[in-house]
Copies of this chain bind each other. A is one copy, B any other.
Amino acid sequence: MVADLERSILQRLDAVDLRYTTGRRAIVDGLRKANGPVTLPELLQLVPDLAQSSAYRNLALMEEAGVVRRLVHSNDHARYELAEALTEHHHHLICDSCGIVRDVQFDARLERTLDKAFDEAAASEGFTIARHVIDLFGTCADCAG
């Protein structure tokens, strides 16, 4: 499975003439280790010996290459995760109290229902929907304690 992931990433990078360097591998590994999207400072902790500018630059390049996704929830640090094409469609649970972000998946049946409903709602405004993003805000177990 991991080999598949690596191959897929290599393919995407190749397609835009980017090398899969040690630094980029380290970033990908860092993103894989985390169980949710991470901020840049968090990523730098997971991947020591990585220059901040290189992290930013490579995340941007890999975002364009379809390997990484960038999320912006607030005004401070953005968060990064592996692109859905490489993982699985999922959504986010965001704790209002501590700001942590965790992944959640819905079952396929629900996703189908959602897509259908969203398409219909969007049609009335003349939009064609390509994808949806759902953020669930609330309180995490730690903060509820």
| Sample of 15 A–B contacts (CB below 8 Å) | A72-B72, A75-B78, A93-B125, A93-B127, A104-B124, A106-B121, A114-B114, A125-B141, A126-B140, A126-B141, A129-B137, A130-B137, A131-B138, A132-B136, A135-B135
Across the interface, which residues of B come within 8 angstroms of A140, CB to CB? 125-127
Q: Given A74-B72, A133-B137, A135-B133 in contact, is the A104-B125 Cβ separation under 8 Å? A: yes
Closest to A103 in B: B125
Query: Are B73 and A102 within 8 A (Cβ)?
Result: no
Query: Are A122 and B135 within 8 A (Cβ)?
Result: no
Q: Which of B114, B122, B133 contacts A104 (CB 8 A)?
A: B122
Distance to closest chain B CB from A70 (angstroms): 8
A64 contacts partner chain B, Cβ-Cβ < 8 Å: no
**Alpha-carbon gap, A38 to B114, bound state (A):** 27
Distance to closest chain B CB from A98 (angstroms): 12
**Alpha-carbon gap, A134 to B118, bound state (A):** 10
Q: Given A75-B72, A78-B75 in contact, is the A132-B121 Cβ separation under 8 Å? A: no
Across the interface, which residues of B come within 8 angstroms of A84, CB to CB? none
Across the interface, which residues of B come within 8 angstroms of A132, CB to CB? 134-137
Query: Are A133 and B130 within 8 A (Cβ)?
Result: no
For the complex of A and B, list the 6 residue pairs with the smallest distance between their C-beta atoms, beginning with the closest: A126-B141, A129-B138, A130-B138, A133-B135, A93-B127, A72-B72
